[in-house]
C-alpha cells in the first residue's frame, strides 16, 4: 500500500505539473500578474497610510483572512472510484496508506498557511504594532489549527455518523474562529494552549474508534472527487480541462434573453446562445473575466493603463470563447441536419461579437464612472473596435484552421 501511495502521488504531481506547464504558457497569466501587481501596489499604499493607532477593521480583517485561508488545503487521499472494489480486500492496510496521505496533505496545507501568514504580516506588524514573538505565535496558532482541521477531516474516513457536518462546523470554523479571535484581540501567547489541548485530545481519543471502524469508501471517494474537481476548476480558469464537464443550468430568468427558434437566423444561433448561457464553462468564464477586469478597472488609474487593460481583457474574453465553436461536434445529429456549414461560422461570429461588445461597454462605463475622461474614451472605443474586428476575423480563422 505504501508503494501504491507513492505511485499515486507521483501521478498526481505529474498531472498538476502537466497543467502547470499550460497554465504558465497562457495569456491569462499575464492578466493575472497584472492583477496581482495592482493588488500588491494598492496593499502597500494602504499599509503605508495606516495610522499609529489601529483602526477598528484591522483586527477583524486579520481574523477573517486567516480563517478563510485555513480552509485551503484539503485532505488528499488520491482514492479512485474503482478502489472500492479493487482495494476492498486490502482494507486492513488502509490506515498506513491514509497516514501517508495525511502527512502529504498536512505539508501542503501548512505551506498555504505560511503563505497566508506572510501576506498578512505587514498588516499585523505595521498596523497592529505586534512584536516578533507574537507574530511567530500567530503562525504557530495557524499551523495548529490546520492540524486539527485535517485530523477532523480524516476522522470522517471511519465515521458513519450522518451529522458529521457538525464536527466540521465546530473544528473547521467555530474553534478556529474563537482561537484566532482570542489570540488577535488579547494578543496573549497563553491562548495557544487551547488548540494545543485540542490536539492532544484528538490524538488520544479516536484511537479506539479508528481500530474498529469500517472504512467509509463512498464518502471518502466522494470527498476526493470533489477535491480534484475544485482543483480542476481553478486550472480551468486558464485552460480547458477534460475532467471538467461543466454543469448545465437552466437559468429560467435568462430564457427571455434567448432567441426563439423563429427569431434565430439559423439553428446555430439558437444552439450557440443556449450553450453559452447554460453551460457554466462558457458563461462562467465570461463573468469571471469581466468581474476581474471590472475590479482592476476600478483600482487602476491613469491614461494608458486602463486602455491597455481593456484591450488585454477583451482579447482574453473573445479568445476564451473560441472553443464554444466545437461544442456540438461530438453530436452527430448536428452533422446530419440539412444545413449549410458556412452558417455555423457566421452564427458564431455574431455571438462572439455581441459578447465582446457587451464586455467592452461594461468596462468602459466602469472606467468612465471612476474617472471621466473623454479623450481616453475615444481612444478606448477605437482600440476596442479594431481589436474585436481582428479577433473575430483573422484570429478566429487561424484558430479554426489550427483546430481542424
Partner 1 sequence: MALEINNLVGGYSQIPVLKKISFQVRPGELVGLIGLNGAGKSTTINHIIGLLEPQQGSIKINNVTLKQDPRKYKKSLAYIPEMPLLYPELTLKEHLDLTIKAYDLNPTVAWKLARQLLKVFRLDNKLTWFPAKFSKGMRQKVMIVCAFITQADYYIIDEPFLGLDPLATRDLLELISKEKKRGAGILMSTHVLSTAQTKCDYFVLLQAGQIKAQGDLAELEKQSQISSHQLEDIYFALTKEDRQYE
What are the residues binding partner 1 (CB under 8 A)? 248, 250, 260-262, 264, 266-267, 270-271, 274-275, 278-279, 328, 331-333, 335-340
Is 214 or 248 the residue whose CB approaches partner 1 more closely? 248
Q: Residue 157 carries which DSSP code?
A: G
Minimal distance, residue 336 CB to partner 1, in Å: 6
Is 85 or 333 the residue whose CB approaches partner 1 more closely? 333
Q: Which of 337, 36, 360 is nearest to 368 (CA)?
A: 360
Query: What distance in Å separates the CA atoms of residue 124 and residue 180, rounded to the nearest whole number?
Result: 13
Is 77 or 275 the residue whose CB approaches partner 1 more closely? 275
Minimal distance, residue 267 CB to partner 1, in Å: 5
Is 4 or 267 the residue whose CB approaches partner 1 more closely? 267
DSSP 289-319: HHHHHHHHHHH--SSHHHHHHHHHHHHHHHH
Are 294 and 366 within 8 A, CB to CB?
yes
Query: What distance in Å separates the CA atoms of residue 341 and residue 270, rounded to the nearest whole number?
Result: 15
Minimal distance, residue 263 CB to partner 1, in Å: 11
Query: What distance in Å separates the CA atoms of residue 392 and residue 352, rounded to the nearest whole number?
Result: 7
All cell numbers assigned to 374: 473623454
Is 86 or 337 the residue whose CB approaches partner 1 more closely? 337
> Would the CA dihedral through 261, 266, 267, 269 be positive or negative?
negative
Query: What distance in Å separates the CA atoms of residue 133 and residue 275, rounded to the nearest whole number?
Result: 55
Give the CB-side neighbour count of residue 25, counting CA atoms within 13 A: 7
Minimal distance, residue 339 CB to partner 1, in Å: 6
Q: Which of 151, 141, 163 is nearest to 69 (CA)?
A: 141
Is 167 or 274 the residue whose CB approaches partner 1 more closely? 274
All cell numbers assigned to 220: 471518502
Is 105 or 275 the residue whose CB approaches partner 1 more closely? 275
Amino acid at each position: 500500500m505504501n508503494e501504491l501511495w507513492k505511485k499515486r502521488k507521483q501521478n498526481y504531481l505529474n498531472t498538476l505539473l502537466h497543467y502547470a506547464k499550460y497554465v504558465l504558457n497562457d495569456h491569462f497569466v499575464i492578466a493575472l500578474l497584472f492583477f496581482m501587481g495592482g493588488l500588491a501596489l494598492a496593499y502597500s499604499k494602504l499599509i503605508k497610510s495606516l495610522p499609529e493607532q489601529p483602526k477598528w477593521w484591522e483586527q477583524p480583517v486579520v481574523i477573517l483572512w486567516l480563517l478563510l485561508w485555513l480552509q485551503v488545503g484539503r485532505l488528499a487521499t488520491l482514492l479512485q472510484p474503482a478502489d472500492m472494489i479493487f482495494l476492498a480486500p486490502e482494507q486492513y492496510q488502509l490506515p498506513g496508506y491514509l497516514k501517508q496521505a495525511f502527512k502529504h496533505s498536512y505539508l501542503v496545507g501548512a505551506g498555504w498557511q505560511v503563505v497566508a501568514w506572510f501576506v498578512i504580516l505587514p498588516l499585523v506588524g505595521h498596523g497592529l504594532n505586534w512584536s516578533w514573538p507574537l507574530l511567530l505565535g500567530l503562525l504557530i496558532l495557524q499551523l495548529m489549527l490546520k492540524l486539527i482541521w485535517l485530523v477532523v477531516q480524516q476522522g470522517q474516513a471511519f465515521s458513519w455518523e450522518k451529522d458529521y457536518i457538525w464536527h466540521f462546523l465546530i473544528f473547521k470554523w467555530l474553534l478556529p474562529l474563537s482561537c484566532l479571535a482570542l489570540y488577535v484581540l488579547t494578543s496573549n501567547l497563553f491562548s495557544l494552549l487551547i488548540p494545543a489541548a485540542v490536539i492532544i485530545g484528538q490524538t488520544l481519543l479516536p484511537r479506539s474508534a479508528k481500530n474498529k471502524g469500517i472504512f467509509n469508501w463512498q464518502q471518502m471517494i466522494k470527498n476526493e472527487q470533489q477535491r480534484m474537481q475544485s482543483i480542476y476548476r481553478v486550472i480551468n480558469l486558464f485552460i480547458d480541462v477534460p475532467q471538467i464537464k461543466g454543469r448545465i443550468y437552466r437559468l429560467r430568468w435568462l430564457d427571455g434573453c434567448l432567441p426563439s427558434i423563429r427569431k434565430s437566423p439559423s439553428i446555430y444561433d439558437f444552439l450557440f446562445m443556449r450553450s453559452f448561457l447554460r453551460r457554466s464553462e462558457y458563461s462562467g468564464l465570461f463573468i469571471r473575466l469581466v468581474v476581474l477586469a471590472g475590479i482592476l478597472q476600478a483600482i487602476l488609474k491613469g491614461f494608458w493603463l486602463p486602455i491597455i487593460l481593456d484591450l488585454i481583457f477583451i482579447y482574453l474574453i473573445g479568445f476564451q470563447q473560441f472553443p464554444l465553436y466545437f461544442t456540438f461536434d461530438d453530436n452527430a445529429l448536428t452533422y446530419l441536419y440539412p444545413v449549410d456549414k458556412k452558417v455555423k461560422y457566421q452564427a458564431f461570429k455574431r455571438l462572439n461579437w455581441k459578447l465582446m461588445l457587451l464586455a467592452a461597454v461594461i468596462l468602459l462605463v466602469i472606467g468612465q464612472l471612476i474617472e471621466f475622461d473623454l479623450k481616453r474614451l475615444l481612444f478606448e472605443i477605437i482600440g476596442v473596435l479594431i481589436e474585436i474586428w481582428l479577433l473575430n476575423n483573422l484570429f478566429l480563422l487561424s484558430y479554426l484552421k489550427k483546430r481542424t
